[in-house]
């Protein structure tokens, strides 16, 4: 039986836990995901870190597909839209407690397409230097667990 993704539930749970402990929740967002509407002047390395403390945002709605809220950047109001698949992490600013999410969890279709392009380029350059009699890496292709230890 197919179940809905647990990522939106985990985001909401960590958000509530961080706020209940009087800490500041920060959301790390992949700003290059389609549907992501954030202030572009604050994007660094394709990511943006957002303070989502209740007193810092307005009209926040954390749905199963998207997080929307209003915030001010440089004194100017801005309506933000963050697809759940764009959320990379949620953590407390003061102590770093929180969780990270794998970038490919929700965007498997997109990520596999990007991987195949990257793999083709890698094959072209690797094919020039590699010989057929070299042993293959037995760990290649194994998926690494996306679970993290939270202390």
What's the structural domain count of the chain? 1
What's the pLDDT tens digit per position in 18-69? 999 999 999 999 999 999 999 999 999 999 999 999 999 999 999 999 999 9
Residue indicated by tokens 């490919």: 104
Model pTM above 0.75: no
What's the pLDDT tens digit per position in 110-119? 333 333 333 3
Q: What's the N-to-C CA distance of the chain in angstroms?
A: 33
Q: Is residue 143 part of a domain?
A: no
Question: What range defines the domain where residue 96 resides?
Answer: 7-103
Q: Is residue 124 part of a domain?
A: no
CATH number, domain containing residue 71: 2.30.30.220
Q: Is residue 16 part of a domain?
A: yes
HEC letters along 68-128: EEEEEECCEEEEEEEEHHHEEEEEECCCCCEEECCCCCCCHHHHHHHHHHHHHHHHHHHHH
Spacing of C-alpha 79 from chain mean position = 19
């Amino acid at each position: 039986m197919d179940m809905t993704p647990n990522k939106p539930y985990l985001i909401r749970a960590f958000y509530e836990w961080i706020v209940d402990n009087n800490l500041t929740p920060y959301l790390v967002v992949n700003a290059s995901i389609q549907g992501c509407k954030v202030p572009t002047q604050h994007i660094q390395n394709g990511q943006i870190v957002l303070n989502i403390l209740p007193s810092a945002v307005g009209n926040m709605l954390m749905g199963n597909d998207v997080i929307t809220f209003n915030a001010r950047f440089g004194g100017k109001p801005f309506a933000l839209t963050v697809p759940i698949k764009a959320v990379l992490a949620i953590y407390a600013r003061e102590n770093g407690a929180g969780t990270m999410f794998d970038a490919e969890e929700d965007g498997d279709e997109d990520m596999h397409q990007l991987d195949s392009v990257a793999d083709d380029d890698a094959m072209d350059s690797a094919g020039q230097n590699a010989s057929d009699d070299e042993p293959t890496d037995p760990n290649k292709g194994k998926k690494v667990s996306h679970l993290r230890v939270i202390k």
